[in-house]
Amino acid sequence: MKCALLFLFIFNILNLYVARADDDDPTLVTLPEGQIRGRALQLVDNSTYYAFQEIPYAAPPVGELRFKEPVAPEKWEDVLNTTGNTKICYQSGDLYEVYEGLTETEDCLYLNVYTTLKPGDDTETPLPVLVWIHGGGFATQSGASQLFNPELFVHHKVIIVTINYRLGALGFLTTEDGVIPGNLGLKDQHFALQWVKKNINLFGGDPEKITIAGESAGGVSVGLQLISSRNKDLFRGAIIQSATALCVFSHQDNARFYAFELGKSLDPDFDSDDSEELLKLLQNASASDINNNTLTPASGKETDIVEGEGLIWAPVIEKKDLEGALLTGPFHEDVRDGNINQVPVILGFNSEEETFFWRNDDSLPAKYAKYLDSDLSNLIRNKFNMTKENKLTAGKRLREIYTDGSFEDDLGAVVKFFSDEQFTTPMTRHAKLQSYHTDVYLYQFSHKGKLGGQANVEVAGVRGVGHAEDIPYFWGQNSEEPNDEDDEMTRHRLLTLWTNFVKYLNPTPEEDEFLFNVTWEKVAPNKLVYLNLNTTFEIQENPKKYLEWEKIIDIYAIPPLINY
């Protein structure tokens, strides 16, 4: 009996010691589903931060969960290893780049948390949180540290969360009737935001100080999450870089058509129009076959770029009576009417976005110029609800903004047209409309540095900062470190502005000599001010050709509008 009591006493003491040791171990965190083990890493100043990579925020969307909304992961018993990124969602499209150590898989709904605070240390003041939603045309990229190294942000004392979400057909195919729900990739993002709100305190984060941010399709995603009422109280600020919900590629009008076209491409004998039968076919197909489909845009259906080009797998507007609907109204009208999560935003673009897309093919300016000149209604395409006559009139007037003659005689003009049409105009429109309801800080990034990876790019005589050229300044994507003072100083100024916003919802809360003592003025509906971010900062008004676009589009476009 005495031996049994002694054994029980020793056992309890050991248990108490182990529990205390675990509490003192900042790499061990207990989530509602189970424990995870991260790792301690060093920043450039030799200070420590903690990385927890590949935390499951949802169950693997496989089998019967393929083409269904995300659900919570099952609990696990052993300590889960979260010390690296290995899994990414299936990738497709021209921009896909293979990164060492990453494997495409359906089992990809993971997120990463990076913090300088010791998890479990209640003595520290919680840090604000930045949740990054990656871009990639809804077809490529991931939240892996191989793509988005968090150290530059973490050094500025904010917690970073990066996420994976389903891409391509696996993330955006829908029958539009609820059988295969719409916007699954966006619903993954929403589910991840719920996870962050619920769990970020375990990593030293403040759940009341969450900002969401993204670039390109990630910027569109942030814009759409901003619109969705299902995100109420999940974040308090947003940063939207180089694309927004009002951009034309943010929306797919013919999603059900393409869903069944994919079914037919997988099985030539499939001729049903029954959504349940399509779902059965798709759930029995291989993920790689679904992902590697060769569907191309159907003639007359697309709004994006030119005839025969555009995004097939993109967000949709869902029917209001569908359970779990995330987006139910025209995007432009929702922003205009304030049917959004009314939080402050930073929003902006690079000075000549389109040069990125045309940088490797000298024939593209002439191709697009011929397409536009052949029928001036092509400057409008299916983007706006206009009469055929008004499309021609509006197209003619738009071309006159950029050239006195034809695009074919001025190829640089067509580059500038598409930079504005795809990015600058819709983003400035978003800034103007949202400024009726919240604080809006608009910017143009104009620093053409080596760090952006496109320093020597010029298309048809047009230079400027191309799409995605800003990303290495924030995330260190380019392995080449800044080798000149302008690049290095620009990087740290951008990081200061962005993290100031995450901390204070104001990028310039006080005068700062490092930021040229600039006060970033907010947009007003009657004053389109923006901060030109270059080797110096300058407050300017009326970006690019926006006001000239507005005078034309607002005359001829017939509401309700989805994009702008």
Strands 440-445 and 529-533, by their bridges, are parallel
- Whole-angstrom CA distances from 12 to 7, 21, 78 are 9, 14, 21
**Locus of tokens 């100080």:** 209
Q: How many helices (H) and strands (E) does the chain have?
A: 17, 16
Residue 28 to residue 173: CA distance in whole angstroms: 38
Estimate the crossing angle of helix 255-266 against helix 275-284, to 10 degrees: 50
Tokens of 195: 């996870």
Phi and psi at 114, nearest 5°, equal -130, 130
Residue of 55, 43, 40 lying closest to 85 (CA atoms): 55
**Locus of tokens 């058509």:** 257
Rg (CA), the chain: 25
Is residue 442 within 8 A of residue 348, CB to CB? The reply is yes
Return the HEC string of 321-346.
CCCCCCCCCCHHHHHHHCCCCCCCEE
Residue 517 to residue 529: CA distance in whole angstroms: 17
Q: Is 142 a catalytic residue?
A: no
The conformational region for residue 208 under phi > 0 = left, psi -120 to 50 = alpha, else beta, is: alpha
Is residue 181 within 8 A of residue 174, CB to CB? The reply is yes
**Locus of tokens 């990229």:** 141
**Residue of 92, 142, 145, 216 with catalytic role:** 216
Is residue 451 within 8 A of residue 487, CB to CB? The reply is yes
Residue 551 DSSP symbol: H
Is residue 202 within 8 A of residue 30, CB to CB? The reply is yes
- Listed in sequence order, the DSSP H helices in 123-212 are 151-154, 168-172, 184-199
Residue of 521, 497, 522, 505 lying closest to 431 (CA atoms): 522
Residue of 352, 363, 521 lying closest to 435 (CA atoms): 521
Residue 263 to residue 228: CA distance in whole angstroms: 30
Give the catalytic positions in this structure: 216
